[in-house]
Amino acid sequence: MTSHNDQPSPMTFTAAPALSGSVAVPGDKSISHRSLMLSALAVGESRVEGLLEGEDVLATAAAMRAMGADIQRDDDGIWHIHGVGVGGLLQPQEALDMGNSGTSTRLLMGLVASHGITATFVGDASLSKRPMARVTEPLSRVGASFTTSPGDRLPLTMTGACPAVPLDYTLPVASAQVKSAILLAGLNTPGITRVVEPIPTRDHSERMLKGFGADLEVEVQADGTRIITLKGEAELKPQNIVVPGDPSSAAFPMVAALLVPGSQVTIANVGLNATRAGLIDLLREMGGSIEIINAREVGGEPVGDLVVTASALNGVEPDLARAPSMIDEYPVAFVAAAFAHGRSIFRGLDELRVKESDRIATMATGLRAIGVTVEELEDGIIIEGSGGQPLPGGGPIATRLDHRIAMSFAVAGLVSRDGVTIDDMRPVATSFPTFTTLLQTLGAIA
């Protein structure tokens, strides 16, 4: 994991010629995590193709192995998972090392909550700063017990309840991770688990649970509130899954192609789930040319190829309701705004304060360091665009062990006068191990 290699790996990204070509981004991280977890709870063999083989997902695979699943990767890159069945998770013999992955940690806590086992979760320095109360609080209500480090942080030891108590829970904040943790706990809980979601978040868990045969229903009310009900003590059936390209990873070549003059880039096989596609909508509102071709459905998920052409962008003040559909893409959206004509105002982003880093503060500091005029707000940021002019550049940018911060400033370097230096590119391996290779393929790096 990132924390186990002690030497930072700085890198400078400099002005790029026009980008061109067709590339594919790694498999969707959210779907990759869930495909391993649900396959490990099905009886029989599931096959997963296109799995993201970054450190976060490999941490999930290692944890499911530690709890009894047989997980193998063949030479063709296809993963074979023989599951233990719902209720069949075994007591792990050692602490589960989650590295940098908040998603793995919170979702696996949901799984363990309704099994009669005890598990200890540990992580790297970045993950160990992230609060877990939003998950431990509802999971305590199903009967799980927790011993946490100060501030409800890792290292954390939990003991599941078997039988667990079915939960009827209204999400206080929009969080796909909290929703998913409660639904996963509900799989091995007798009775009906019910989650009320006032603001819709990514729905990969619901789609995949249905695909594996869980008895799950989603009711959408007139005001957009989603009520998700899951019948417990489920029997999951093995599946063959093809993981689409991760829209959060596609965000980086997409913004780079819009900003580097003369560029045209095709990004193949990108997941276009409406709960994840907010950045595409935002960039189009700003004037970005993004065409979706070859739209199709793969494994219950909408997929397409994106053709992105360099465009003059305008400042924007996006609707607050869009935040959940692009929460991980805001750092690179801030970079796009830095090159736009006019001012951009982003609000309603409290969630960014508790990601791998405080992404509002870290981005504001970094943008100032490369010549952008920004004002940090309690729940967002105001960015004065350069009107399409290259930014001065600079650095090294303090990325705070945050992969998305590192990649966002790498994109900024491609349209800078003097280049942008990233203090440490190691964290990029958690989600996008082929990031610099992909930029080379497009002609960005000599």
pTM of the model: 0.83
pLDDT at 2 over 60: no
Question: pLDDT category, 184, cuts 50, 70, 90?
Answer: very high
Tell me the pLDDT tens digit for each residue of 34-90. Answer: 999 999 999 999 999 999 998 999 999 999 999 999 999 999 999 999 999 999 999
Which helix or strand (DSSP H or E) is residue 291 part of?
A: strand 289-298
pLDDT at 126 over 90: no
pLDDT at 20 over 80: yes
pLDDT at 345 over 80: yes
Q: Rounded to an integer, what distance in angstroms lies between the CA atom of residue 149 and that of residue 154?
A: 6
Tell me the pLDDT tens digit for each residue of 249-289. Answer: 999 999 999 999 999 999 999 999 998 889 999 999 999 99
Q: Rounded to an integer, what distance in angstroms lies between the CA atom of residue 177 and that of residue 183?
A: 10
Q: 328 catalytic, yes or no?
A: yes
Give the CA diameter of the chain. Answer: 61
Question: pLDDT category, 356, cuts 50, 70, 90?
Answer: confident
pLDDT at 3 over 50: no
Catalytic residue chosen out of the listed positions 328, 402, 423, 424: 328
Q: Across residues 423-442, what is the average pLDDT? A: 94
3-state secondary structure of 356: coil
Q: Across residues 120-140, what is the average pLDDT? A: 95
The token pair at 214 is 């869980």
Backbone dihedral angles phi then psi of residue 270, each to the nearest 5 degrees: -95, 135
Point out which residues pair with 377 in neighbouring strands.
380
Cα three-residue angle 316-271-443, rounded to 5 degrees: 75
pLDDT at 365 over 70: yes
Asked which of 325-339, 351-365, 406-420 is least confident by mean pLDDT, the reply is: 351-365
Q: Cα dihedral angle (295, 215, 101, 334), rounded to 10 degrees?
A: 40
More confident site: 183 or 354: 183
Q: Check: CB of residue 167 under 8 Å from CB of residue 186.
A: yes
Q: What is the reported pLDDT for 353? A: 87
User: Which DSSP letter does residue 25 get?
Assistant: P
Q: What is the reported pLDDT for 5? A: 56
Tell me the pLDDT tens digit for each residue of 224-249. Answer: 999 999 999 999 999 999 999 999 99
The token pair at 399 is 């990325």
Give me the residue label for tokens 């709960």: 275
- Can you give the C-alpha Rg of the chain in angstroms? 21
Burial of residue 220 (CB within 10 Å: 0-12, 13-18, 19+) is: exposed
Q: Rounded to an integer, what distance in angstroms lies between the CA atom of residue 425 and that of residue 417?
A: 21
Mean pLDDT, the chain, integer: 95
| Count of residues in the chain | 446
Q: What is the reported pLDDT for 297? A: 87
